[in-house]
Structure 1
Amino acid sequence: MKRRTFLNRIGSILAVLGITEAEWLTLGNHYYQALAQPSQRKLALLIGINKYPQIPSLSGCLTDVELQKELLIYRFGFQASDILTLTEEQASREFIEAAFLEHLGKQAKPGDVVVFHFSGYGTRVKLEASLDAVQNALVPANESNTAQDNKIVNYLLEETLLLLLRSLPTERVTAVLDTSYYPPSTVFGLKIRALQESVEAKLAAEELDLLKQLKTQKLLNIPVVLAATSDPKQSAREGLFSGFKAGLFTYALTQYLWESTPATKIQVAVSHVENSLSKLGSKQQPALLNSQKNQHIEKLNVTSLLPDGSISAEGAVTTIEEDSKTVHLWLGGLPPEVLEYYGVNSRLTLATGEELILRSRTGLTAKAQISKVESASSLQIGQLVQEAVRVLPRNVGLTIALDTGLERIERVDATSGFAAFTRVSTVLAGEKSADYLFAKLQPTPSRYGLFSLDGELIPNAGGEVGEAVKVAVLRLAPKLSILLAAKLWRLTENEGSSRLAIKATLEIISGISSQMVMQRETVRTLKTETSTSKSLPTPHSALPTQHSPLSTPTVPIGSRMQYRVQNQSDRPVYLMLLGLKNNQTAVAFYPWEPLQEPKTADTKPFLKEIVIAPGETLTLPQTNAASEWVIPGPGFFYEQQLILSTAPLSGTLAVLNTDNYPAADQRPINPLSNPLDVAQALLQDLHNASVPKTEMNGTSADSYILDVNNWASLSFSFQVV
């Protein structure tokens, strides 16, 4: 592109922003001079592109921009006027670079907070200077120059972006890149954000010129760059949720930041995000783009990235209706798996103590009414809301998406087959949100299987070669029961909103000491909000690992494991541990009652309640040879849910007692033969412990009512190697 044509293309934005040609072409130091009276400012440039002129459209990038914008404004106090968004055709390479220099480069000064976000396609491109030099690049809206040469591409190099970020005169620079660069040979499951580039593509000369200029500039900071994937083989994926589509990484990240506290370490935040991604059906692992070169970044707190938020929250008041008692809410802080089932009459509280009663919800937005009309005058736009009572339907089911690659008759047979199961429904992939995907493993001869949403086969969920569709579906009956049970106990997760003060640590026992694998703790109490997921005190050491410290924690086969659970509340709590091993087997912790008489083959063991007194700490299982928890081989992925209640979990224990466990086998972690019954009993126990009967008369009897003061549910995931 010629220089005059280039300037004409961006003339409108240059005119609006007041950028001269000399300012654009010369990255002078005057862009970065601090003002005489320093005051912290919070600047953001958010970019999202769904529609591209010549390539398939994406679906969730505009939602990503909205997720980030609402988070920055309501949770972290950004002014709307300081957030510049470029979407769709506005997000050309020229506009992105011009907006970066003017909105961020010209305004940022030392101590300011700067956030950059990109959602769209990524790709790989060869540099003109060398056929062997291939780099990552972001794909803007005007990805190619068809007017002159269809081989010229207008990509924004990742290297260019990193240099732009490093040229800003503040240490508080964060970038979020929800994209990937290597498309797989076959796209299966969730839509991906990676574009296969032609080997003949050449980068626009203007981009190469800008890169050359940037390389001569002084680097003023080391930005924190959060990437959606940590491995070239992984793909950044989009998800279909309850009424909206979004990037899995952006949604998981923004949801966690709503509920996190400023003291949270960056690597802990990324660990939580990865855990959430796994539950959304994706194995992509987010990463710090420059963590290997700059290890000190991993020691930073979330506060180092963003300004201190006032309090953590599940959402905020965005609009107040004319009646002054009805409000519109943004609920970006609710866990994704919970949002879809967040029922009418759920309650949220304002900082003033007033309660809002949920009346309806569409996607991430909801309508609510203040519980006491006389308090309506206290409502204000921007007020944060925290979860108080969670209302969930009792008829939650499993939704299976039927792959579009199936023939019509195959989809008909699959629909008929799944209809034989209670609480299992089917949808066409891409039309509605789903939990798993039913598709072909191979076309000829046909073989069918059940997959995660990103196309990974669920272990032991593949049918026989040549098997009829209905037979393949019916073969899945035990698997569907296990997956539905896991879905139910995931709905209890409330690490961010629980008011029950609990800290739990997963440890490897080594001799007389222990090594921390990971730690979770509730972030809210009735009095204050505390830091979350910190490292253990000095007596405990971090678990050594060969993997990146931001990846899923790994545990060697043969390890002796335990949980250390601290009850920091003023009430006794009762404990239950449930888990899912490799998406294949449901497991539970069996609290065996010590026998008072010699054990024989016919002696039926009993289970007992696990209770932790206020202020006390319990190790689980107890460290003795008879109850050791030893990790067996071969390697697998473990997801466990630690659930605590202020009332006995007697119903759950009663169902566990009916399980067909061997009388002589008293291992602490055992498979469940009736996982769905256990999960339903658990929800009923939490309901019994929580329900404020006198205040919830309008709530249907077909719902579970869970009060955040009465339960805590913490999620742990790790890889056995």
Structure 2
Amino acid sequence: MKRRTFLQRIGSILAVLGVTEAEWLTLGNRYYQALAQPNPRKLALLIGINQYPKIPTLSGCLTDVELQRELLIHRFGFQGSDILTLTEEQASREFIEAAFSDHLSKQAKPGDVVVFHFSGYGSRVKLETSPDPMQNALVPAKGSKESQDEKIVNYILEETLLLLLRSLPTDRVTAILDTSYYAANTVLGLKTRALQELVEAKLAVDELDLLKQLKTQNLPSTPVVLTATSNPKQSAREGLFSGFSAGLFTYALTQYLWEFTPVTTIQVALSQVENSLSKLGSKEQPALLSDQKNQDITSLTPDNIIGAEGAVNAIEDDGKTVHLWLAGLPPQVLVYYGVNSRLTLATGEELILRSRTGLTAKAQISKIDRTTPLQVGELVQEAVRVLPRNINLTIALDTGLERIERVDAISAFAAFSRVSTIVAGEKPADYLFAKLQQTPSRYGLFSLGGELIPNSTGEVGEAVKLTVQRLAPKLSILLAAKLWRLTENQGSSRLPLKATLEIITDRLPSVVMQRETVRTFKTETSIEKSLPIAIVPMGSRMQYRVENQSDRPVYLILLGLNNNHTAIAFYSWETPQESNTADTKPLLKQVVIPPGETLTLPQTNTASEWVISGLALFYEQQLILSTAPFSETLAALNTAKYSTTEQGPISPLLNSLDVAQSLLQDLHNASALKTGMNGTAADSYILDVNNWASFSFSFQVV
């Protein structure tokens, strides 16, 4: 498409964006002038499509575009005028490829940074000229058209997109594809971004011609292409959050990039993102479409080494009330981020949260003490986290349940004091209650990604109420895990701590993954480490190595889930020395790490080894450290009746909900902020980032 034709067709897009054609041409002149500048330019093309004709709509693709745009502007220094967004009906195949040509290909030069993002449906389409006739393709807004004798699809082949990316004159190219290609026959839980393949359909001739033309060119560059799934049969899913929907992959990736500095290999970043996805109820495994397995994210280097939880995106006329974009907070935390939470600007001023809707919030400056006016784009970092005490576990009732089944389920779940129910898809939820697809006469509890929770199913033909009643112990564990996940603050903690998960070998320990409080290290040399995939062989001897680099002693608690559903904890047992009876109950003691010292746990001796058995395929563990003792947590742990066979270093946690609530109370007690918090102490937990750090570790056992 010629430039004149492109400008004519793109007029409707610019009208939506509030930009006239004259202004667009002016922007073109500014682009041309910028090409002569010595500093590299940063260009982005962001695509998001929720509304498709004649097929089910998606919900989170426009939010994905907003997430990427705010990230690129405030965290990576992109100019808003250098970011072109195509959404809804404007994101046709012709417009996307024309925008790629005019906005990226014709403007980028060697050394420039380019970002391409696509959120929408993917599918498979027949390509007779290929050895594998069924090919992956992106589905634009106007994805098909009927001719007199055949069905023509206007898809963009994944192969075409990869060749377009390789054709750019710079090697600093990153593409993010939040889509998938294989549609499942039956889907429980979250919406998926994949359409059924069209075996009889044919690609538009223009697309085939473009592919043929690209294949004749010499395209040496290798872009970084990040995809939502690594397994072709996996589905990219959308999540429903508090006030908005988003692609799980896009949200997890952008949240990671807000808080952390990606000066490491992509596999480490994807490991962190996969960890976040698991907590959102998805088994998506993000992937890198490249033969270079140790690429770094050189095309995405933030302007500031130290990360943030968000940025100022508007200032009201009084100069004291600001609007915040808070996409850097962990998703599970944002939902409960309460009024009177506090964030700080780089200049030291404190912002007090007054209200929040979705990803945006209003805050007031506690006091203005600066020589220059507050600016839009200033980064904000978490200082005080306020969480409500009355947090419930929310169960979504699948729409496939009959009306009487839903009524019975609502009644049965109402018997639990900390559990609430909603209709699936109407509000955010933690888990899904539904029929088993293979055995519709059985009910069970599922993750939001449609994975059945082990040991949560009823018998064949069993009544809904009986199945729900069986869930009582499981619901308590799942609520406890929800509570301790709310402590995660690796990005915002001010305690200088580092934790490494290791496999013990005959030689040096092998590092599985490493977490550290990045906000406390000022150089790029201190970075997290991880294996490409967090996989641990069955039978491995494991340990954590925790370094306290602060000037204060810190206390430690480790809680977690086996196979995502059975609670465990680390125990430091202390048996009374004068005991003469076999049934004397050992006592728990505080685990403390003095300033500047390193602790391994369990201690490496045969009596307290942690050996990975074959009973669990997936581990999720939360390592929590505080400047004050975990007095109430240990008191709760000591109330449980453990048999002598369970007194290992990492053993079952019998009263998980009591322990989780006591843990939050201990962190609240460690924060000396009770006064001056406008009466929030009575019904909220108040947590100071200077007093605690919480790391999340997830790994698979094979």
TM-score if structure 1 supplies the norm length? 0.91
User: What SS is found at the alignment partner of 2:699?
Assistant: strand
From the superposition, tell whether residues 123 and 78 of structure 1 become closer, same or farther in structure 2 (CA, over 3 Å).
Answer: same
Contact 1:32 1:105 in 2 (8 A): no
Out of 474, 484, 487, which is 1:489 matched to? 484
Which residue number corresponds to residue 123 of structure 1? 123
Contact 1:330 1:366 in 2 (8 A): yes
Deviations 1:646-692 (A, max 9, x none): 01111111111112112464310110110000000000000000131
Contact 2:349 2:369 in 1 (8 A): no
Out of 467, 470, 482, which is 1:475 matched to? 470
Q: CA deviation at 1:32?
A: 13
Q: Which amino acid aligns with 1:112?
A: D
Which residue number corresponds to residue 710 of structure 1? 691
Which residue number corresponds to residue 456 of structure 1? 451
Contact 2:244 2:358 in 1 (8 A): yes
Cα distance in 1 for residues equivalent to 2:70 and 2:665: 35
Deviations 1:535-557 (A, max 9, x none): 4xxxxxx86xxxxx3x3x11122
Cα distance in 2 for residues equivalent to 1:599 and 1:158: 71
Deviations 1:368-424 (A, max 9, x none): 000115669642111100000000000111000000000111111100100000110
Contact 1:524 1:530 in 2 (8 A): no
User: Residues 189-588 of structure 1 correspond to what in structure 2 (within 5 A)?
Assistant: 189-290=189-290, 293-297=291-295, 300=296, 302-373=297-368, 378-442=373-437, 446-525=441-520, 528=522, 533-535=527-529, 549=532, 551=533, 553-588=534-569
Q: CA deviation at 1:697?
A: 3.3
Compare 155-164 and 594-603 and name the one that shifted more.
594-603
Which residue number corresponds to residue 600 of structure 2? 619
Cα distance in 2 for residues equivalent to 1:524 and 1:557: 35
Q: In the comparison of the two structures, how many residue pairs are matched?
A: 686
Q: CA deviation at 1:505?
A: 0.6
Which residue number corresponds to residue 67 of structure 1? 67
Deviations 1:495-547 (A, max 9, x none): 0000011110111111253111111111112x736666534xxxxxx86xxxx
User: What SS is found at the alignment partner of 2:436?
Assistant: strand
Contact 2:560 2:619 in 1 (8 A): yes
Cα distance in 1 for residues equivalent to 2:448 and 2:4: 44
Compare 703-712 and 594-603 and name the one that shifted more.
594-603
From the superposition, tell whether residues 126 and 335 of structure 1 become closer, same or farther in structure 2 (CA, over 3 Å).
Answer: same
Q: Which amino acid aligns with 1:528?
A: K
Q: Which amino acid aligns with 1:703?
A: S
Deviations 1:18-51 (A, max 9, x none): xxxxxxxxxxxxx999955532111000000001
From the superposition, tell whether residues 572 and 55 of structure 1 become closer, same or farther in structure 2 (CA, over 3 Å).
Answer: same
Contact 2:126 2:198 in 1 (8 A): no
Cα distance in 1 for residues equivalent to 2:128 and 2:6: 23
Q: CA deviation at 1:197?
A: 2.3
Which residue number corresponds to residue 601 of structure 1? 582
Q: Which amino acid aligns with 1:311?
A: I
From the superposition, tell whether residues 664 and 414 of structure 1 become closer, same or farther in structure 2 (CA, over 3 Å).
Answer: closer
Q: Which amino acid aligns with 1:367?
A: K
Q: Which amino acid aligns with 1:13?
A: I
Contact 1:460 1:584 in 2 (8 A): no
Q: Which amino acid aligns with 1:642?
A: L
Contact 2:344 2:381 in 1 (8 A): yes
Q: Does 1:38 align with 2:38?
A: yes
Q: Does 1:643 align with 2:624?
A: yes
Q: Which amino acid aligns with 2:155?
A: Y
Compare 442-451 and 705-714 and name the one that shifted more.
442-451
TM-score if structure 2 supplies the norm length? 0.94
Q: Which amino acid aligns with 1:320?
A: I
Contact 1:577 1:588 in 2 (8 A): yes
From the superposition, tell whether residues 673 and 665 of structure 1 become closer, same or farther in structure 2 (CA, over 3 Å).
Answer: closer
Contact 2:115 2:174 in 1 (8 A): yes
Q: Does 1:684 align with 2:682?
A: no
Contact 2:305 2:524 in 1 (8 A): no
Contact 2:306 2:522 in 1 (8 A): no
Contact 2:253 2:273 in 1 (8 A): yes
Contact 1:557 1:632 in 2 (8 A): yes
Q: Superposition RMSD on alpha carbons, in Å? A: 2.4
Cα distance in 1 for residues equivalent to 2:438 and 2:400: 9
User: What SS is found at the alignment partner of 2:45?
Assistant: strand
Compare 610-619 and 592-601 and name the one that shifted more.
592-601
Cα distance in 1 for residues equivalent to 2:268 and 2:438: 42
Which residue number corresponds to residue 13 of structure 1? 10
Q: CA deviation at 1:475?
A: 0.8
Cα distance in 1 for residues equivalent to 2:305 and 2:84: 23
From the superposition, tell whether residues 132 and 313 of structure 1 become closer, same or farther in structure 2 (CA, over 3 Å).
Answer: closer
Q: Does 1:109 align with 2:90?
A: no
Cα distance in 2 for residues equivalent to 1:205 and 1:7: 22
From the superposition, tell whether residues 373 and 445 of structure 1 become closer, same or farther in structure 2 (CA, over 3 Å).
Answer: closer
Cα distance in 1 for residues equivalent to 2:380 and 2:5: 47
Consecutive unaligned residues in structure 1, runs of 5 or more: 18-30, 536-541, 544-548
Q: Which amino acid aligns with 2:330?
A: P
User: Residues 623-634 of structure 1 correspond to what in structure 2 (within 5 A)?
Assistant: 623-634=604-615
Q: Which amino acid aligns with 1:152?
A: I
User: What SS is found at the alignment partner of 2:588?
Assistant: coil
Q: CA deviation at 1:233?
A: 1.3
Compare 101-110 and 661-670 and name the one that shifted more.
661-670
Cα distance in 1 for residues equivalent to 2:294 and 2:427: 43
Cα distance in 2 for residues equivalent to 1:60 and 1:584: 28
Q: CA deviation at 1:13?
A: 3.0
Q: Which amino acid aligns with 2:90?
A: Q
Which residue number corresponds to residue 57 of structure 2? 57
Out of 627, 635, 638, which is 1:657 matched to? 638
Q: Taking every aligned residue pair, what percent have the same amino acid on both sides?
A: 76
Which residue number corresponds to residue 27 of structure 2? none
Contact 2:266 2:294 in 1 (8 A): no
Cα distance in 1 for residues equivalent to 2:317 and 2:584: 69
Q: CA deviation at 1:54?
A: 2.3
Cα distance in 1 for residues equivalent to 2:411 and 2:455: 22
Compare 430-439 and 657-666 and name the one that shifted more.
657-666
Deviations 1:439-473 (A, max 9, x none): 00158762100000011110100111111111111
Cα distance in 1 for residues equivalent to 2:598 and 2:302: 34
Q: CA deviation at 1:635?
A: 4.2
Contact 2:563 2:616 in 1 (8 A): no
Cα distance in 1 for residues equivalent to 2:439 and 2:503: 47
Q: Which amino acid aligns with 1:160?
A: T
Contact 2:45 2:85 in 1 (8 A): yes
Compare 593-602 and 190-199 and name the one that shifted more.
593-602
Q: CA deviation at 1:308?
A: 3.8
Contact 2:177 2:228 in 1 (8 A): yes
Q: CA deviation at 1:142?
A: 1.1
User: Residues 158-197 of structure 1 correspond to what in structure 2 (within 5 A)?
Assistant: 158-197=158-197
From the superposition, tell whether residues 14 and 706 of structure 1 become closer, same or farther in structure 2 (CA, over 3 Å).
Answer: closer
Cα distance in 1 for residues equivalent to 2:149 and 2:101: 28
